[in-house]
Structure 1
Amino acid sequence: MRELKVVIADDHPVVLVGLREVIQRDERFSLVGEALNSSQLIDLLMLHQPEVVITDFNMPGDETYGDGLPLIEYIIKHFGAVKILVLTMVSNQLIISRLLEMGVAGVIAKNHIHEEIGKALNALSNGRAYTTPMDQPLSVVANVKVIDERFSNLSPREVEVLRLFVAGNSVGEIARLLNRSVKTVSTQKISAMHKLEVLNDHALLTYCIKADPFES
């Protein structure tokens, strides 16, 4: 049986070490590259054309590839044959459902990675998608009225905040990433919610995923 080439990506070295050890012990797979950010990941995909990529959902991105949903969408669009396992600390079912709707092979919660990664690799080696208890289908497309013109009212800074929010970051994490105060980020997020006419985080996330305003 031919070995399946694997690329792994995570900005936490400890996670990479753990994944490396699991993959190198499995004769069905061959680890061909490790990345710490989005650009490195895409470079490795172009170079090696692997059958499997295991990537963190949130890691340092860039203007070209980003992270979170935009990064996964880019990989699916440009590397259609690769099977994608997504590692995440995000528990929001809307994001998980959106990833599955996009076509990823599986989503693994990082706090269960040691128990689940072996099961996931077994599934992929047998040509199956990997399902976990967190993979419960929940429509984020149907029954959501989208008025795209509302996004034209957002300021560039509000769009930045929403992009990072949809990627799974908290207000505090967004403030750190954008080098702004938590108060400023919170104000910009609330302002965006008013302009989009949504009342809570759940509705905001649903609206943004449906409208997909961050697609390049």
Structure 2
Amino acid sequence: MDNFIRVAVADDHPVIRMGIEATLDDISSVRRIGSVADSTQLIALLDTQPCDVLVTDYAMPGGEHGDGLELVAFLRVRYPQLRIILLTSMDKAVLIRSLLTHGINAVLSKTDDISHLRAAIQAVHIGRRYFSPSIASMMKSLPSATASSRLSQREAEVIALYVGGDTINDIAEKLQRSKQTISTQKINAMRKLGIETDADLFKYAIELGLTQTPLKE
């Protein structure tokens, strides 16, 4: 059994979770240790079962340990040896950069075929990174920008969604935070970036290739 790669699954969508499970069960080198639907269940699983690789959804609200970058940061501290493969439907370069700086080992887009999970597991298990095709394509043009690295996890998350076209209300609903909190995080992020207006924020994003959204009038 020591030759198996022990893998945990975390996704709040039953159909997607079942698809991941089916893919894992077809990989002879993998032993699935359990599947969960939120961060509360995930931590309970990881605290009781040895695990080499975690395959987790990015947006997985409802658990006491949060989701997204908040959960990733928590996992990195609590289980420093754990390899993390993150599944996401988001395609914002700012967000991908933040994920990489917080110790994510592989990023797979939900728009790509689930078969890439096999290669991702093999890669992260030997200490390499892996990106599914649409993420890899994005990474080729990902600019290096030191300013955005000064943002907190939550600030980067808010800016990524905002420059992608979401409103403050949209982001608050998506991340399950109050509108006031989202607005404050956006303002703090803009201050750190030295940006005073939304128009300048979108110009900054376009210059870095972070969004294809036209400038707001």
Question: Could you tell me the TM-score, scaled by structure 2's length?
Answer: 0.69
Q: Aligned pair 1:119/2:119, yes or no?
A: yes
**For structure 2, which runs of at least 5 residues remain unmatched after alignment?**
206-217
> 1:203: Cα distance to partner?
5.3
Contact (CA 8 Å) 2:98, 2:149: kept in 1 or not? no
Q: Which sections of structure 1, spanning at least 5 residues, go unmatched? A: 152-159, 205-216
Shift of 1:49: 2.9
SS for the counterpart of 1:84 is: strand
Is the 2:59–2:68 contact (alpha carbons within 8 Å) kept by the matching residues of 1? yes
1:9 maps to amino acid = A
Structure 1 segment 125-164 matched on structure 2, within 5 A: 125-133=125-133, 134-135=135-136, 136=139, 138-140=143-145, 142-143=146-147
Task: Quote the residue 1:40 is aligned against.
Answer: 41
Kindly indicate whether the alpha-carbon contact (under 8 Å) linking 2:12 and 2:38 is maintained by their aligned counterparts in 1: yes
Distance 1:79 1:96 in 2: 21
Comparing 111-120 and 129-138, the one that deviates more: 129-138
| Partner Cα distance (1:145, 1:98) in 2 | 7
**How far 1:88 sits from its partner (Å)?**
0.6
| Mapped partners of 1:83, 1:194: distance in 2 | 32
Query: Cα distance 1:23–1:179, how it changes in 2: closer, same or farther (>3 A)?
Result: same
Partner of 1:77: 77
Contact 1:68/1:167 (<8 A) preserved: no
- Are 2:160 and 1:174 aligned? no
Q: Give the CA deviation at 1:128.
A: 3.1
**Aligned-partner residue type, residue 50 of structure 2:** Q
Give the residue type in structure 2 aligned to 1:118.
Answer: R
Q: What TM-score do you get using the length of structure 1 for normalisation?
A: 0.69
Aligned residue for 2:98? 98
Q: Is the 8 A contact 2:109 2:132 kept in 1?
A: no
**2:55 partner letter:** I
Q: Given the superposition, is the C-alpha separation of residues 125 and 83 from structure 1 closer, same or farther in structure 2, using an over 3 Å criterion?
A: closer
1:165 equivalent to 2:158? Answer yes
Q: Which residue type is aligned with residue 158 of structure 2?
A: F
Q: Deviations over 1:114-169 (max 9, x none)?
A: 242122123235553323442425434x25596x9xx9xxxxxxxx8x58625858
CA distance in 2, matches of 1:145, 1:76: 18
Q: For the residues of structure 2 that align with 1:113 and 1:123, how far apart are their CA atoms?
A: 17
